[in-house]
A and B are shown apart, each in its own frame.
Chain A
Amino acid sequence: MGAAQAAGALTATVANAGEPVPAQRTLHRWGMAIDLDRCTRCQACVVACAAENNVPPLGSEKAVLTRPIHWMEILVPDAESSAVTELGREPFPVPCMHCDRPECVKVCPVGATQRSDDGIVSQIWDRCIGCRYCMVACPYSRRYFNWTAPAWPGGDPSSANPDVALRPAGVVEKCTLCHHRIRTVVEHARLDGESVTDEVVRWLPACASACPPHAITFGDLADPHSELAALARDARAVRLLDRLGTEPKVFYLRTRR
């Protein structure tokens, strides 16, 4: 994994040499909608994400030193506080917003985080120098620093997903919208000469796939006919901290109560 992938350059090494491969690539703009009227806050998405992306647990000793890493997090507003989010006082799940104008990218001194041309805000662990500017810049606090090396129960990440790199201590990590899964499906479609349909990507990220009430819809905002594009136009749709102009691509759907 690394630079080539993050830049979106798809090489044809996996294709059979003799077969012609369609060259054209359609431009996607991946995003997500989370329906809070459906969400039961069961936190299946949280664990599904950790399992898919090899997010290490802290363990009992380190838990007192730092916060656990959750690419998909449930934020719980203080029930007594006067500060209210766009979503009221109810707990809500938050992945990276994959902003079209991401603050984190602006401040990274080494180009370790970029907005790829399919809309994903990536993080290249190998390039990260651990300065944590991006963590300060992100208005959604969706970035986590590896203060220590990951400690797997028993020392061996036996159930680690081979498609996702493990992160060492000293780097920042974050949600990638499961872009290894996206890449697999997009590549498949390209090799088969088919287009990537809503049906195929609807359940793509681990969080969306696990969600029992189907509250998470993944899709392509570049396609005006996609389910996601329709949800983004829904009257129930809001974006977090929209006024900052970060243009987040995660939409929350909720009925005001």
Chain B
Amino acid sequence: MAKLGRRGFLGAAGALAGAAACRTSRPSQESQDPYAATKTAVPLERGTRPGEERWVLTTCGLCRAGCGLRVRVADGRAVKVEGNPESPVNRGGVCARGQAGLQLLYHPDRVRAPRRRVGQRGENRWQEIPWDEAIADLAAELAKVRSAGEPQSLVLLDGEYAGATHALWTRFMAAFGSPNHVGHGCGGRTQITQAVRRLTGAVGVPSYDFEHSACVFLVGTGALESSPQAIGLARAMGRTPRPHVFCASSRLPRMATFVDVWMDVAPGTATALLLGLAHVLVRDNLADLAALQTAVGFLPSIDASGKPAGLRARLLAEFSPGSVASLTGVSAERIERAAHGLAVQRPSVVSADEDLVDLGAAGAAILVNTLLGSLNVAGGMRLDRGDAFAFPALQPDAAASAGLAAPPLDGRKGSDFTDARLLALPQAMLSAKPYAAKVLLQTYSNPVYSKPDGKIWREAFAKVPFVVSFSPFVDESTAFADLVLPDHTFFERWDVVETGASLALRQPVVRPIANTLATGEVVLRMARVLGGTIARAFPWNTMREAAVAGLSAATAARPSLLDDLQSQGAAARARDAKPAVVVDVRSISWVPLSAPSDSVRFPFALVPFRGPGYAEGGLRQMAWLAELPAVMNPWGQRIEISFDDARRLGIEHGDDVVVESSFGMLPAQAQVSTTVRPGVLGLPLGREDAMGVLGSLVDEASGHWLASATRAQIRKVA
């Protein structure tokens, strides 16, 4: 025992625990006699013996952080999730969501086999079919559009951004010949990756070394509640001394007691606040000199009209703390103090990496990190390469080349996955311009539920002749599908996950509990059925084989990689000591939103946020998360309102209210809070109708959703 380290004892103790295990009686369904309990035990999984127990290393799939897990499997059932101490992401800790993952695995509403629609779309009448038939169906539809010379009419909505399955999809779209591989996140994941690429040319998502930071400046509340940064921030809070934490947001969760300074910024003005910080850093000579000199578009130059250009000049002219204060509602003194706090307490880092902040703020955060000298240093922002998977070069055939040359339906400017403009897609599908979408595949995505203006998605789906969903649940978007090819949950499948700091192994913890199939395997089988160059692009029999092939460059550099993954669950990625980053700041700008047209009728800004239990699809039905202790009205909708506004409107904590915007109405229960900025309503996402009141307002320059731009009013229900 003595040799077993932290959190390691349970695996070794398992044998004894297993021997002592006793399945006790399970109470019957609700009955008149409260003591009535049937003596039926939970049945054993096939192939297991009573008391058999093991621990399996895998990687969480409930957000993109990729925490290492150790799962206890007793009698063939996964019974407890623990953190893997070897994982550089979480070092043994697991968040509430990860702990509740078992409720996803054993969720009663899972799709238990492939199914074909028999009734009208959305009627929820299905016929179960064998896998071979389902894949043949899909391949036939795909072959049809390809032989018609329109491979570009295939659209893939993909909610994964890394890992083996995503890499296979990327390759499939290239081999098939469609440029319409669209990322599901209309927010952060594409915003931060896009900002990183625009400013630094780096590919992939940044990570944040909060654990070694002395000062952390967060934009938005994601890292406090639900974003993949939350686990790293929590670990940093366990250190002594812990980092000093600033948070710029219009509301602060009641639980975020460790935020030292809350900057209650007006909705939609975080970019200006960050540029104000940059102003102070430059003005007071606190910025990193080398970064200043190498940055493209930073130092003064003269533009065509003879006026000084360059971001430095603009910062100094337009973003003084005084003028930023009037835009953001944060006093000039507090802006100065925050900038000096970041400059003095090094290493410091700014994170604007959340689904609901806009692209401008993501870019401005990179600028401030550059000025602080915090790019690619300990305690700073890491620009990690998301290129662990590299398949051998692909030779698209003529049909595919023609399809790939077509303009993407979403009207993106570049050709990259991260340039996708998801919110423009439904309109293009409705108008069939520049061409019609014929086949729509959706994996890890549920836009009807999770994107603003879900109604337009429903209409757009109706225009597509063939809709396929890979969701393990009949969610809102899957309800409109013609064919459902249910994926495994992450506890049942094999994958290699790219996280910022490491590569991590995901492997089956239990046998699939239903007749589901990993989507990566479906891609391989579909390619085989399609034949020709597409089949030749996928010479692998299993997903595992494909992933190993994709990792060949990484394994060449590190022969023990696969063994390390198997024995430890995760392997730290090789990193250059301090790769030089040249930052191009020319794309950074900020213009205030035009004043709301109807501010008399709709005096409040509606600020959506994601609480600790938020996730898409079936996850929101995970009961342990819904019933977290401090959640008011756990199974209903609530709305946060400031103490002052509530008093003015005669609304008391717990009152039934109605929130109304020009897009819809939402009944909710009022949660009166002292940490909500007056004039703001905090809208937790995750319930059925929350998205219905939010408008699909888009920043034209970037195509991103302006999450906090919806105006609303609130009134008490008599």
Residues of A at under 8 Å CB distance from B?
Answer: 1, 14, 36-44, 46-48, 50-52, 57-60, 63, 68, 70, 73-76, 79-80, 90-91, 130, 148-151, 153-163, 165-170, 180-181, 184-185, 187-189, 192, 194, 197, 199-200, 202-204, 206, 209-215
Say whether B574 faces chain A, with CB atoms less than 8 Å apart.
no
Report yes or no: A50 in contact with B29, Cβ–Cβ below 8 A.
Answer: no
- 12 interchain pairs (CB within 8 A)? A1-B22, A42-B96, A44-B94, A44-B96, A51-B81, A74-B255, A130-B34, A150-B27, A153-B103, A184-B16, A209-B10, A212-B94
Report yes or no: A188 in contact with B1, Cβ–Cβ below 8 A.
Answer: yes
With a cutoff of 8 Å between Cβ atoms, the chain A residues found around residue B105 in the complex are 158-159
Residue of B nearest to A208 (CB): B7
Within 8 A of A (CB), among B573-632: 612, 621, 623-630
**A130 vs B81: C-alpha distance when bound (angstroms):** 32
Residue total for B at the interface (Cβ-Cβ under 8 A): 87
Report yes or no: A58 in contact with B627, Cβ–Cβ below 8 A.
Answer: yes
Which of A41, A47, A156 contacts B257 (CB under 8 A)? A41
Report yes or no: A203 in contact with B257, Cβ–Cβ below 8 A.
Answer: no
Report yes or no: B623 in contact with A58, Cβ–Cβ below 8 A.
Answer: yes
Within 8 A of A (CB), among B220-248: 224, 230-231, 233-238, 242
Report yes or no: A163 in contact with B42, Cβ–Cβ below 8 A.
Answer: no
With a cutoff of 8 Å between Cβ atoms, the chain B residues found around residue A168 in the complex are 27, 34-37
With a cutoff of 8 Å between Cβ atoms, the chain A residues found around residue B255 in the complex are 40-43, 74, 91
With a cutoff of 8 Å between Cβ atoms, the chain B residues found around residue A194 in the complex are 1-2
With a cutoff of 8 Å between Cβ atoms, the chain A residues found around residue B224 in the complex are 40
Evaluate whether A162 and B22 lie within 8 angstroms (CB atoms) in the complex, with A41-B256, A194-B2 already known.
yes
Say whether B19 faces chain A, with CB atoms less than 8 Å apart.
yes
Interface-lining segment among B71-79, B125-133, B656-664, B694-702: B71-79
Evaluate whether A79 and B629 lie within 8 angstroms (CB atoms) in the complex, with A44-B99, A210-B93 already known.
no
Known: A40-B233, A57-B626, A159-B77. 11 other contacts (CB 8 A): A42-B230, A44-B93, A47-B97, A57-B624, A74-B255, A154-B106, A162-B21, A187-B16, A199-B6, A203-B7, A212-B234
Evaluate whether A63 and B235 lie within 8 angstroms (CB atoms) in the complex, with A170-B34, A184-B16 already known.
no
Residue of B nearest to A90 (CB): B257
Residue of B nearest to A60 (CB): B635
Residue of B nearest to A13 (CB): B20
Report yes or no: B95 in contact with A44, Cβ–Cβ below 8 A.
Answer: yes
Contact digits for B68-110, partner A, Cβ 8 Å, 1 yes 0 no = 0000001101111111000000101111111110110111100
Say whether B643 faces chain A, with CB atoms less than 8 Å apart.
yes
Report yes or no: B78 in contact with A159, Cβ–Cβ below 8 A.
Answer: yes
Report yes or no: B674 in contact with A203, Cβ–Cβ below 8 A.
Answer: no
Residues of B at under 8 Å CB distance from A?
Answer: 1-2, 4-7, 9-10, 12-13, 16-31, 34-37, 42, 74-75, 77-83, 90, 92-100, 102-103, 105-108, 224, 230-231, 233-238, 242, 254-258, 513, 612, 621, 623-630, 634-635, 643, 673-674
With a cutoff of 8 Å between Cβ atoms, the chain B residues found around residue A211 in the complex are 93
Report yes or no: A161 in contact with B108, Cβ–Cβ below 8 A.
Answer: no
**A38 vs B238: C-alpha distance when bound (angstroms):** 5
Residue of A nearest to B635 (CB): A60
Judged by DSSP, the binding face of A is: loop
Q: Which 4 A-B pairs have the closest CB atoms?
A: A154-B108, A213-B238, A212-B93, A57-B623
Evaluate whether A51 and B93 lie within 8 angstroms (CB atoms) in the complex, with A43-B612, A159-B78 already known.
no
The smallest C-beta distance from A146 to any residue of chain B, in angstroms, reads 8
Most chain A CB within a 10 A radius of its CB, from B2, B30, B629: B629
**A79 vs B18: C-alpha distance when bound (angstroms):** 46
**A90 vs B674: C-alpha distance when bound (angstroms):** 13
Evaluate whether A214 and B16 lie within 8 angstroms (CB atoms) in the complex, with A57-B623, A162-B22 already known.
no
The smallest C-beta distance from A22 to any residue of chain B, in angstroms, reads 14
With a cutoff of 8 Å between Cβ atoms, the chain A residues found around residue B1 in the complex are 185, 188-189, 192, 194, 197, 200
Residue of B nearest to A89 (CB): B257
Report yes or no: B30 in contact with A149, Cβ–Cβ below 8 A.
Answer: yes
Report yes or no: B106 in contact with A181, Cβ–Cβ below 8 A.
Answer: no
With a cutoff of 8 Å between Cβ atoms, the chain B residues found around residue A79 in the complex are 254, 673-674
With a cutoff of 8 Å between Cβ atoms, the chain B residues found around residue A37 in the complex are 242
With a cutoff of 8 Å between Cβ atoms, the chain A residues found around residue B81 in the complex are 51
The smallest C-beta distance from B566 to any residue of chain A, in angstroms, reads 23
Report yes or no: A184 in contact with B257, Cβ–Cβ below 8 A.
Answer: no
Residue of A nearest to B674 (CB): A79
The smallest C-beta distance from B85 to any residue of chain A, in angstroms, reads 9
Which of A60, A157, A167, A213 contacts B237 (CB under 8 A)? A213
Which of A47, A154, A159, A212 contacts B628 (CB under 8 A)? A47
With a cutoff of 8 Å between Cβ atoms, the chain A residues found around residue B97 in the complex are 47
Report yes or no: B624 in contact with A181, Cβ–Cβ below 8 A.
Answer: no
Evaluate whether A162 and B674 lie within 8 angstroms (CB atoms) in the complex, with A38-B242, A199-B6 already known.
no
